[in-house]
Chains A and B, each alone.
Chain A
Amino acid sequence: MQANHSITKTKTYHPKTAVAVIVSGLCLLVLAMAFSIIYGAANIKLSTIWEAFVHFDSSSTAHQIIQRLRMPRAVAAALIGGSLAVSGAVMQGMTRNALASPSIMGVTAGATFVMSIGLAFMESASNTTLMLLSFAGAGLGAGLVLLIGSLSKRGLTPVKLALAGSAVTALLSSISSAIAIHFNVAKDISFWYAGGVSGVQWVNVQLLIPVSIVGLLLALGLSRSITVMSLGEEVATGLGQKTGIVKFLGTLLVLLLTGAAVAVGGTIGFVGLVIPHIVRFIVGPDYRLIIPCSAVMGALLLVFADVAARMINPPFETPVGAITAIIGVPFFLYLARREGRGL
């Protein structure tokens, strides 16, 4: 596993840098969210926005827009970005695999698959049902990829993971497209699939908040164990860690976080791949620092990407997943070139 040395190569720990990243990241996040609320098709003054917060007037259209459309959107972008980045970090730490991330491991394709079945067969599926379906689908996708990895002879190398992930993605998304076309729900699905956070309502955010908080707390609780795991499973066992429990909890939290993120935001790729790598580069290999920093940076990236999605081609919205892909692909290529060396 020569390729993975790079993850644990830098032995320096930067707690102070991490604090600086979190504090400045949070400040930027507040600014970005404020900008996300201000910017939009309808021109709304800052003072009006403040009033919408302080004393909400339900007869005012501007207040309605702020409250009903823009605020949930900004909050959801932050939560989804944070969730995806944290689950990417946890996956990379646990599998010691530089390419591990929700979209590459078939998690999003699995969620799409089950969601399309849900939209096709359950006409009046509630938001909660859809989210539960999304969890189940996320589990299915990741489960298939991991199964292929464990069945193959030389184990789950980064390359095999990427290949298995893209094969599972191709398979599941073909079936979901077929279902979508047959049951005439293609529009609903592609809207949800590429929609990003544009149609988010408070109901979605209310579901997203508890899941994200539980997931993040669980990740922080596991962070020490994940750091140990990232040194290798034998080392972890040698240090007296119960790797089975850590793996179980880690997988659970990945499914929670990605499932919720995909259910609300559709496919937003590469956030979970890119952010943990950048954060690891800045704060070093300790997951107690990587996880909180990833949460903040992931949130920041997605809020920015969502604003960019609205700014590129107004009044149309560019799908936010396309923007994260365009940011993420060069990074993926860089990793692929680097990975290619040891394989």
Chain B
Amino acid sequence: MTNKTRKVMSVSMILLLAIITVFLISLNMGTLKIPLAEVIKAFNGTGSEQNYTVLVHFRLPRMVIAILIGAGIAVSGAILQSVSRNALADPGILGINSGAGLAVVLYIFYFQGSSFSSGVLSVYIMPFAALLGAFLATFLIYTLAWKQGVTPIRLVLVGIGINAAFAALIIVFQLMMDPNNFMQATIWLSGSIWGASWEYVYAILPWILLLIPLALYKSQNLNVLNLGDHTATGLGVKVERERRTLLFISVALAGACVAVGGGIAFLGLVAPHLARKWVGPRHQGMLPVSALIGALVLLVADMIGKNLMAPSEIPVGLVVSCLGAPYFIYLLIKD
């Protein structure tokens, strides 16, 4: 075991421990405080009926989703940053999230009539709608930023523009919904996992289980791409094809996460940065560590959002933005 691998292992272990700790604390916290002993009892089958329902049907799926989405967004951001060789890339900033958001709003608006609360089938269709929107947004951003190649800065600027356009369209459709749906759409768009149930877990799980290992499998190519196009070509990587595949993975992850968690910005920016700082730029180590950081951050952010201003809940995306935007500004100043 080399020194570097050992470092990745130890950082991962610490993060994993942190995730487990937060997970356990989060199980106890909420409008209904359930002490750890009661939690254990509930899972044994000896606890109260009410505790069991709260834990299994409300808290557990929500936390599982937070972990899955956090990991997905972090890996998506990490790939995006390496592929575009742009430290400021993030699915939220680039407008990929708003593309997915628009698609979901359109889907809800046209196919679900007036009801935002979703049936069983639509839970599974929503990721596909979001995916379509995410790909459309990515395609638009890439084509519009293309001018004898894509510079990182132009990519981000065009992303900001596309973001504004999609946000405007989202508002147009949102305001045509009835007030109740409007409010729910607003909460969903600011990044929220409150409506979480096991159906959503099953809807997102295949995407995460398929795409994150695929990204890990491609990490050597990511390492090479990060060296620059010329070096990568010299090392025998089909640059354009690899870049497209990786971009596809990244956008698919972001789209699936947005479908369930709404627009969570800055997480895809912060997690890879921290991972790179702690374990270096090799993707074999950096990607899993990013995923763990993403899961931890989202779990913590959801706990804060749920309890800080209880009984009202703050959408988790807002909490993440409050933590992530200052970090982005810090990067901007330091750069």
Interface, chain A (partner B; CB < 8 A):
148, 151-153, 159-160, 162-164, 166-168, 170-171, 174-175, 177-178, 181-182, 184, 186-187, 190, 194, 269-270, 313, 316-319, 321-323, 325-326, 328-329, 332-333, 336-337, 339-340, 343
Contacts and interface: CB of A to CB of B under 8 A. Distances in A.
Given A152-B334, A163-B88, 13 more contacts: A159-B153, A167-B332, A170-B328, A171-B322, A177-B318, A178-B315, A178-B319, A181-B187, A270-B164, A313-B176, A318-B172, A319-B168, A337-B144
Which applies to chain B's interface (DSSP): helix, strand, loop or mixed?
A: helix
A162 B160 contact: yes
Given A148-B333, A152-B333, A194-B175, A269 B164 contact: yes
B106 interface: no
Give the one of A151, A170, A186, A269 with max B CB within 10 A: A170
Contacts of B314: 177-178, 181-182
B156 A170 contact: no
B171 A332 contact: no
* For the complex of A and B, 6 pairs with smallest distance between CB atoms: A340-B154, A325-B168, A336-B157, A171-B325, A174-B321, A322-B168
Contacts of B333: 148, 151-153
Given A148-B332, A170-B265, A329-B164, A162 B318 contact: no
A321 B171 contact: yes
B321 A171 contact: yes
B161 interface: yes
Contacts, number: 136
Interface in B134-167: 144-145, 147, 151, 153-154, 156-158, 160-162, 164-165, 167
A164 B332 contact: yes
A321 B164 CA distance: 11
A336 B321 contact: no
Interface of B: 88, 93, 144-145, 147, 151, 153-154, 156-158, 160-162, 164-165, 167-169, 171-172, 175-176, 179, 182-183, 186-187, 190, 265-266, 309, 312-315, 317-319, 321-322, 325-326, 328-329, 332-335
25 contacts: A148-B329, A151-B333, A159-B156, A159-B157, A162-B157, A163-B332, A170-B266, A171-B326, A174-B190, A174-B317, A174-B321, A174-B322, A177-B190, A178-B318, A184-B312, A186-B186, A190-B186, A269-B164, A317-B175, A321-B168, A326-B169, A329-B168, A332-B161, A333-B161, A336-B154
